[in-house]
A and B are shown apart, each in its own frame.
Chain A
């Protein structure tokens, strides 16, 4: 996950699909599916169990 700063705002590389309809989704050119895929496939420890033992 990458980001950059711009005028007091954080611009993430998570594509902002607000306003994109499902009908548009398959043909949408550009969104970096790998941004989330990488996280999903590498995330072996996907439960937060930071509880007391």
Chain B
């Protein structure tokens, strides 16, 4: 039933003194190098991978490097949550460990799910600041463990948290209503997985164009699906869901037809779309804690949705890379003008914008060449964004806080922009 389990395309085997990475036909073997302060080896990434990320859309090997780093980060956050002393996690933890012993890939898929990343960050912040959360952050580990037990076929006795009368099982769906809505915990065995109001599966949709397809997860359920506040479910009705799927299909057709490399990286990242109700003042958003997730408001056209998807994937990639190498060491609190915002931005935000909007420039350049009916829109968008990015690059170059990799990043952006004379 849970056939979407996938592990990274990078497989690693450890020996006492060496590690062998196998990725496609490339094998690199050598002694594991420990970072001086750690005792545990640090992630090693070929410079060529970093340069590929700077240069635009990436292949599955580079993406796997980023995902591996994200996975390590999730495990570190999980370790920190366990050590926070904020709650008794023993039952949930034992279940999670047992589930992993049955199926490592299934548990990895859950731990890598974007809302789990958001929860980990919120749980740590809550533990460190004594912040009272509307959803008890210490109970979500039981939801994670319950999902793991289901996906691995593990018999588990576990109480899972209910919020707004519903129980969330990350990557699977949401059960409820449970009781009169006042119960905080429900035994896993009491949950009903029949279709209807009692069970809302997390919905997925596959878009296919020729030989190219992408599997979207559309999350309108998880309390941690948005990156800011926790949210009750906002289940799309069947008509709304069909509208989303139709527009995603159309956007996918555009991406495959005219932006093939960007389409490939989007598919590889296994995007999680979080629909945002209109009127929230958000076009789209992503977060450093939720790799692969994008909050997206309803779009007027498939072309603008395609642009947004490319834009948000760039943020996800850069966020993941920043776990490995810093582009800036901004301790000054200095802010910089960003042409796409009214408020001045920290250098990290400016660099994020440069990366995302460089992809947008490339998107509209290709749209211009396609000679579709949106040619005037494409010309205007291309010219506006190109001017903005060039201005932002000049601004960023003036920053003293750039690291060696920050300058290398801007050099790569300059090379990409040099494809567009004038």
Contact = CB atoms under 8 A, between A and B. Distances in A.
Say whether A and B bind each other: yes
A53 B47 contact: no
Given A9-B47, A50-B338, A15 B72 contact: yes
Contacts, number: 188
A46 B11 CA distance: 31
Interface string B296-326: 0000000000000001100100010011111
Interface size class of B (residues with CB under 8 A): 35 or more
Contact of A32 (B12, B37, B322): B37
A28 B69 contact: no
In the complex, which range does the number of interface residues on chain A fall in?
35 or more
Contacts of B124: 37, 40-41
Contacts of B69: 12, 14
Contacts of B349: 45, 48, 50
4 interchain residue pairs of minimum CB distance: A30-B39, A50-B353, A15-B40, A48-B315
Contacts of A6: 33, 44
B40 A51 contact: no
A38 to B, nearest CB: 11
Secondary structure at the A interface, as helix, strand, loop or mixed, is loop
22 contacts: A12-B42, A14-B73, A15-B76, A16-B40, A16-B72, A17-B40, A22-B75, A22-B78, A22-B93, A23-B97, A28-B40, A29-B39, A33-B80, A36-B77, A36-B323, A40-B77, A45-B349, A46-B121, A47-B285, A52-B283, A52-B340, A53-B340
B72 A17 contact: yes
Interface of B: 10, 12-14, 33, 35, 37-48, 50, 68-69, 71-73, 75-80, 82-83, 93, 96-97, 100-101, 104, 107, 121, 124-125, 128, 227-228, 282-289, 311-312, 315, 319, 322-326, 338, 340-342, 345-346, 348-349, 352-353, 356-357
A50 B40 contact: no
B101 A25 contact: no
Nearest to A52: B340
A19 to B, nearest CB: 5
B68 A50 contact: no
Contact of B42 (A16, A25, A39, A51): A16
B106 to A, nearest CB: 12
Given A21-B100, A22-B96, A43-B288, A14 B121 contact: no
A50 B352 contact: yes
A36 B76 contact: yes
B129 to A, nearest CB: 8
Contacts of B73: 14, 36
A34 to B, nearest CB: 9
B71 A47 contact: no
B101 A23 contact: yes
B342 A31 contact: no
A31 B72 CA distance: 10
Contact of B340 (A5, A25, A51): A51
A38 B39 CA distance: 19
Given A18-B68, A50-B356, A32 B342 contact: no
Contacts of A14: 42-43, 69, 72-73, 76, 323-324
A41 B125 contact: yes
B37 A13 contact: yes
Given A3-B325, A16-B72, A48-B356, A40 B121 contact: yes
A49 B341 CA distance: 9
A9 to B, nearest CB: 5
Contacts of A32: 37-38, 40, 76
